[in-house]
Homo-oligomer: A and B are copies of this chain.
Amino acid sequence: MLLGDLALTWSDELLHAAGLTPVQFDAVLPLLSEMRTEVMLGQYLDLQATGELTDDVEATLTVNRYKTAKYTIERPLHVGAAIAGAGPEAMEAFTAYALPLGEAFQLRDDLLGVYGDPESTGKSQLDDLRAGKNTTLIALALRGSDSAQAARLRSLIGNPLLDERDAATIQEIFAATTARDAVEQMIDDRRAQALRALDDAPFTADAVNALKQIARMATVRNS
């Protein structure tokens, strides 16, 4: 906890030493404060939901938006844009691109946790299931389950002793309830929405190409 607070303070020191002009500094500071408040609210919502698996798909997407979409994609773009002197139109265009892309990125991460190649994700396919983190994938599976399937998911997910066979059972239920396909579709929809936002954005061709590349990298299948 102290180390986290120390890192937060040091991140401020890096910003203060970055050689920004007063105008740039004034533009960036409120964004950073909002970003921090948002991620803490997302973390709080996430903690509140911990302990029992939820079939509330919308709730998982709200946590996703605050913990990931805004913090990982939208606000970093806003910070860079503010330093470059961007106006409100550009800021809104970044939001229109970043929020759906950020959600898609987290949805891809949820899928990689269950289906990803451990060689490239760097973690076992059992870790996320053992941790019992509420994800949109699980919420969709619970919503689509009959009572026997739901009971099975609730008894297996979050069990720290869960093994490969249990994981296979869970994957079967994810397939039978079409939860996995639904998440792939949500990723596709959100990436398409992010890319469409670039059509009307007041960005240079180089910037649009870079943002398209980010959209691809953030949502690529790896399983």
- List residues of A whose CB falls within 8 A of some B CB: 1-2, 4-6, 8-10, 12-13, 16, 22, 25, 29-30, 33, 36-37, 40, 43-44, 47
Q: A5–B47 Cα gap in the complex (Å)?
A: 15
Q: Are B8 and A5 in contact (CB under 8 A)?
A: yes
Q: Are B2 and A43 in contact (CB under 8 A)?
A: yes
- CB contacts (< 8 Å) of A47 on chain B: these are 2
- CB contacts (< 8 Å) of A33 on chain B: these are 9-10, 12-13, 16
Q: List 23 A-B contacts (CB under 8 A).
A: A2-B40, A2-B47, A4-B5, A5-B5, A5-B8, A5-B36, A6-B37, A6-B40, A8-B8, A9-B33, A9-B37, A10-B33, A12-B12, A12-B29, A12-B33, A13-B30, A13-B33, A16-B29, A16-B30, A16-B33, A22-B22, A22-B25, A25-B25
Q: Are B29 and A9 in contact (CB under 8 A)?
A: no
- CB contacts (< 8 Å) of A1 on chain B: these are 1
Q: How far is the CB of A25 from chain B (nearest CB, A)?
A: 8
Q: A10–B33 Cα gap in the complex (Å)?
A: 8
* A43 nearest CB neighbor, chain B only: B2
- CB contacts (< 8 Å) of A36 on chain B: these are 5, 9
Q: How far is the CB of A147 from chain B (nearest CB, A)?
A: 36
Q: A36–B6 Cα gap in the complex (Å)?
A: 8
Q: A13–B47 Cα gap in the complex (Å)?
A: 25
For the A-B complex with A12-B33, A13-B30 known, give 10 more contacts whose Cβ atoms are closer than 8 Å: A5-B5, A5-B8, A6-B37, A9-B33, A9-B40, A10-B37, A12-B29, A16-B33, A22-B22, A22-B25
